[in-house]
Structure 1
Amino acid sequence: MARKRRNDWELDDETEEEAAPPPDCWLCGRMTGSEIVWHHPIPKSRGGKDTVPMHPICQRTIITHFTNSQLERFGMEAQGLLDDPTIAKFVAWVARKDPDFNAPITKKKR
């Protein structure tokens, strides 16, 4: 029996589905843009397996300001991170930006 080939340029109305809306960022709560980073709230080096969607700028901010052991203590709850004054200030600032906004992150002074 011969196989039927479907041409890529032919659209079948029955198989068209609406695209799901992008997920919200785990840290700032804004809708994610074209680039989504799947972040491990509990670092993989500390046994973390679950991932959450984030903006690249939000992930870089977390990684810059916290060590893996600190992130492990916060666990899967973003509220512990949001209680930090630096992160709270960042989230308030980035809330007014476009979902695809990107900027360099300053390093934490140690």
Structure 2
Amino acid sequence: MVPGPSVNLHHLVPRTYKGTETVALHRICHAKIHMVLSEKELRDHYHTVERLREHPEIARFIRWVARKPPAFMTRHRAGRR
């Protein structure tokens, strides 16, 4: 990951559920997480980086985006929000 505008902080437990711990993620990965998972799912099941990486769709996306340049960004389809 390249520091700078391509990096976002992700709350492992969403702020709406009083989460405070954050991790730095590439913004395209951060967008994908919120597109695929609801805040309740993040709170209940995917509140660690390891658990996020285990989600089948997120894991597939990580493998795909790993082949892209560090500053790569694209638009996503509408999420589940």
Number of residue equivalences: 78
Equivalent residue for 1:80, pick from 45, 51, 58: 51
Q: Which protein, 1 or 2, shows the higher relative CO under an 8 Å CA cutoff with sep ≥ 6?
A: 2
Contact (CA 8 Å) 1:33, 1:100: kept in 2 or not?
Answer: no
**TM-score, length-normalised on structure 1?**
0.64
**TM-score, length-normalised on structure 2?**
0.84
Structure 1 portions without partners, runs of 5+: 1-30
Equivalent residue for 2:63, pick from 72, 85, 92: 92
Report the Cα distance in structure 2 between the residues aligned to 1:32 and 1:63, rounded to whole angstroms. 21
Contact (CA 8 Å) 1:82, 1:88: kept in 2 or not?
Answer: yes
Q: Which amino acid aligns with 1:43?
A: P
Match of 1:12 in 2: none
Query: Secondary structure of 1:60's match?
Result: helix
Deviations 1:56-91 (A, max 9, x none): 10110000000011101222x212122221111100
Tell me how large the CA RMSD over aligned residues is.
1.6
Match of 1:32 in 2: 2
Contact (CA 8 Å) 2:35, 2:79: kept in 1 or not?
Answer: yes
Match of 2:12 in 1: 41
Q: Which has the higher strand share?
A: 2
Q: Does 1:68 align with 2:25?
A: no
Report the Cα distance in structure 2 between the residues aligned to 1:83 and 1:108, rounded to whole angstroms. 19
Displacement over 3 Å in runs of 4+: none
Tell me the percent identity.
31
Q: Which has the higher helix share?
A: 2
- Choose 1 or 2 for highest CA Rg: 1
